[in-house]
Chain A
Amino acid sequence: MAALTPAAPPVTDAPAPARRPGRPRAGRGWRGAVLVIAAVYFLTPLLASFVFTVNDPVTGFTLDAYLEIFSAEGFVSSLLLSLGLAAATIVTVLVLTLPAMLAARLSAPRLRPVLEVLCTLPLVVPPITFVAGISTVLRWGPDYLATTPFYMTLIAVQNPSFPVVLVIANVVLALPFVYRALDAGLGAMDVRTLVEAARNCGASWPHVLLRVIIPNLKSGLASASFLTLALVLGEYTVARLLGFQPFSVWIVTISGSNAAMSVAVSIFSLLLTWLLLLVLSTAGTRRRRQS
């Protein structure tokens, strides 16, 4: 902000008639300052945390923190749990939303506003209040439902080796992102014409879905999946408060005993997420340039 003030005087002081108002030079001044400040602010934590992980006060430079990650207790199991949850979440959310969104475009236009509201709701409700609701429901089990078959269901979804309740919660949290990604994908193609052409040629509904819709929707499906994957890998609130230990919770658990390693794992998980999102955004721009 302060960069604006020093840049302003040259505009008014510059001999205006000499050439077009001195905008380029003044513009370059504040623009450069803003960009430099932004670069310092955004790069410092990344560089500093890298230094933090490789600098040992006694021995100097060391990569131990990174080497220890793979042999640390709980690393493999929590990462596998997170990846498993992510796979289950992606499959569930796509299987649920894709047919509904196709139907809204093809045959039930009045369904569209309903879907839009349903898929925006999770944005309004902060995850922590969502967990508060879920844990209340789970507590009903021992309190009221102990003699009914629902009780066994509630116990089963909380199985610590694969907590289905986390998949359910993640699907709800992912709905807004998946809805937007698929809506953009469906908007870029003429669904009705494609489907009617395929149906008139005698294709069955499964055939239409697998051979016509999904190939055309590839980039929308890919971005929905990537966003969901990033969301599940980073999801902490729900898992922590329901007492499960996927990757993001495990990082906090080990931070008490080994600070350097927990920062190293953070950098590792960051790079993983960035890679995913970069793949996603470059795929998006390539598609846009082709069309």
Chain B
Amino acid sequence: MAETSPAAPAAPRPGDRARAGGGGRRSLGWTAALPLLLFVGLAFGVPALALLAGAFTSEGAPSTANLTRSLQGAYLTALIGSVKLSALVAVVGAVLGTFLAQAVVTSPLRRLRDGVLTASGVLANFGGVPLAFAWIATLGNSGVLTTRLGLDAYGWSLYSFWGLALVYLYFSVPLMVLVVVPALDGLRPQWREAAQNNGATTWQFWRHVGIPVLTPALLGGVVLLFGGAFAAYATAAAMVGTVVPLVTLQIADALTGNVLIGYENVALALSFDMVVVAGLVMAIHLPLQRRSARWLR
């Protein structure tokens, strides 16, 4: 086994002691990890199994009735609403974030770059309730901008699909900046110069060199943004209540008891649907991330 060579430093000691030391060390390794493994098994594994069991149990018997119900009517609308909102936020956020990142990366001002990156690190973590309240105070029904500019006369409402998208972009764009800046740094200026010397226009450079090289990073960013928007609950709950149909709001509703008798386990089935969608999306992300990490080195 490969672990025998790490035991070499103990070689000056008598041979059998070294071997005993090596074996002891190996089991010591797994012993040291045991608390973490047990904890994750209990705190994460048990709820996950409970969720699976509940999602596939209806009136005490195993069935797929919950799953069928979770893919019908209002539940299906909510699931589709969540996917649509997340996809919109992911694509728009990725495009805007890439332009902002490119503006910062090509800027000669070192301080601008540092400032924007620090601000992005902070804003990407700015989600949840405070974000919702900041936007309600700005563009809500009695928000500062709404009343000053008389936006309600134009039919503006923050508590809508587009309002939520506007708010979600507030943490999605900075996240995209963080993801894509290392990739943009990896675009060597020499490539651009080579393309120009060969007579390529700016568009041709991006079409044939820039975009292909950036694709894994860009797609990875889109996936990450999708996951963040898909899982977001606090912002939506504090902002729209249940005006916009979203799967997280439906699950919360069902868990807190606003639900018909016999539908308790539908929340679990909906959660299962969510995990499936999030898992699929992550399954795209991980290999991409490995690929972009390889060539950016």
- Which A residues lie at the B interface, using CB under 8 A? 1, 8, 11-12, 21, 27, 30-31, 34-35, 38, 41-42, 44-46, 48-49, 51-53, 55, 95-97, 99-100, 102-104, 106-109, 111, 114-115, 118, 121-137, 140, 168-169, 171-172, 175, 192, 196, 200, 230, 234-237, 240-241, 248, 251-252, 255, 259, 262-263, 266-267, 269-270, 273-274, 277-278, 281-282, 285
Contact = CB atoms under 8 A, between A and B. Distances in A.
B274 A49 contact: no
A100 B28 CA distance: 10
Contact of A52 (B3, B37, B138, B271): B138
Given A108-B29, A123-B282, 14 more contacts: A42-B123, A48-B145, A100-B33, A102-B32, A114-B33, A122-B44, A124-B278, A137-B47, A137-B50, A171-B43, A236-B233, A263-B133, A273-B125, A281-B118
Most buried by B among A108, A169, A196: A108
Contact of A99 (B33, B50, B99, B123): B33
Contact of A278 (B9, B118, B144, B268): B118
B51 A274 contact: no
B54 interface: yes
B295 interface: no
Interface string B24-48: 0110111111011101100110111
Interface of B: 2-3, 6, 9, 25-26, 28-33, 35-37, 39-40, 43-44, 46-48, 50-51, 54, 95-96, 99-100, 103-104, 106-107, 112, 114, 118-119, 121-123, 125-130, 133-139, 142-145, 169-170, 173, 196, 201-202, 227, 230-231, 233-234, 237-238, 248, 251-252, 255-256, 267-268, 271-272, 274-275, 278-279, 282
Nearest to A129: B271
Contacts of B234: 234, 236-237, 240, 248
Given A118-B40, A122-B44, A237-B233, A248 B128 contact: yes
Nearest to B48: A133
Nearest to B145: A48
B166 to A, nearest CB: 9
A129 B51 contact: yes
10 interchain residue pairs of minimum CB distance? A133-B47, A108-B29, A126-B231, A129-B271, A52-B137, A100-B33, A236-B234, A48-B138, A107-B29, A266-B130
Main secondary structure of the interface of B (DSSP, over half): helix
Contacts of A114: 33, 37
B79 to A, nearest CB: 13
Contact of B39 (A51, A121, A171, A192): A171
B138 A49 contact: yes
Contact of A27 (B47, B106, B196): B106
A40 B25 CA distance: 58
B36 A267 contact: no
B233 A45 contact: no
A48 B144 contact: yes
Given A31-B107, A99-B35, A278 B122 contact: yes
